[in-house]
Amino acid sequence: MKNADELKKIVKDKYSEIALQSKEANETSCCGVGGCSTVDYTIFSENYDKLKGYNPDADLGLGCGLPTEFAKMKEGDFVVDLGSGAGNDCFVSRAIVGASGHVIGIDMTEAMIEKARANADKLGFNNVEFRFGEIEKMPITANRADVVVSNCVLNLVPDKRKAFSEIFRILKKGGHFSISDVVLVGELPEGLQQDAEMYAGCVSGAIQKEEYLSIISENGFVNVLVQKEKAISIPDEILGNYMSADEISEYKKGSFGIFSITVYGEKPAECSGPNCCN
């Protein structure tokens, strides 16, 4: 079992390679890093083409949802994107909040920060910035953000409780988040989960949906709801190695399996819990 620092290094090294590849290369390789023909990364990614502010240079095909579509942003909002990559969700957010708003992307991979800053420079934005840092210890002061978004990143964070505690800290009272992520429902055979990680690498680090939602509530968020849920398709040839025909049928009904979800939650406008002094 790898410790948190080892896991972070693996993720950082992998996404440093991704930053140097094209979207096309990322979508046909193991989590964006070449050499694994079994991976189909496009089973996660959503189509951004029709969203205002979409910039193809910033889209590496690494998301598993469209959190910006559900994030209830408005003009002038201060938005923070966690695991901002090349800046895709930041630029879509900027199109919503306008010149009077402000968008900060946080990423722990230097190569991604450099790529995102280059994209922002090309677009001429002076209210979109990218900061190097970890989600479990964000380089942002408390009570700063109106909205937090993130796209298929928190499942890769070792300490999810600390991550959501940090989200609570940086949000203003009454602020909210919309986060797309990968979760599990029901117990998958261990071998299937390992194969699924090879087929779609972002399954790695995913936890049970019930536990995921519980962590959010435990950190003081209210009005938590799943805005969108999509089952992740795994090929029959992989499922057949671990399940009977009847079990495969139940899996395809969505009784259990791997899901992409987009979750919403609010920091109370007035609260008295342990995190509310943040």
Q: Would you list the DSSP string of 196-224?
A: HHHHSGGGTT--BHHHHHHHHHHTT-EEE
Rounded distance between C-alpha atoms, residue 82 and residue 90, angstroms: 10
4-266 CATH: 3.40.50.150
Task: Assign 186 to helix, strand or coil.
Answer: coil
* Under 8 Å between Cβ of 83 and 149: no
Q: In this structure, is the dihedral angle defined by the CA atoms of residues 73, 78, 82 and 83, taken in order, positive or negative?
A: positive
| Model confidence, pTM | 0.82
| DSSP label of 138 | -
Q: Say how many C-beta atoms besides its own lie within 10 A of residue 212's C-beta.
A: 22
Q: What does each of the 278 residues of the chain score in pLDDT, given as a tens digit? A: 456 665 666 665 565 566 556 555 555 443 433 334 444 444 455 677 778 888 887 877 777 888 999 999 999 999 999 999 999 999 999 999 999 999 999 999 899 999 999 999 999 999 999 999 999 999 999 999 999 999 988 988 889 999 999 999 999 999 999 999 989 998 877 767 666 665 555 676 789 999 999 999 999 999 999 999 988 877 788 788 888 888 888 878 877 888 999 999 999 998 655 556 55
The C-alpha atoms of residue 128 and residue 124 are separated, in whole angstroms, by 9
Task: Provide the Cα torsion 4, 8, 11, 17; round to 10°.
Answer: -150
**Which positions ≥6 away from 22 have C-beta within 8 Å?**
none
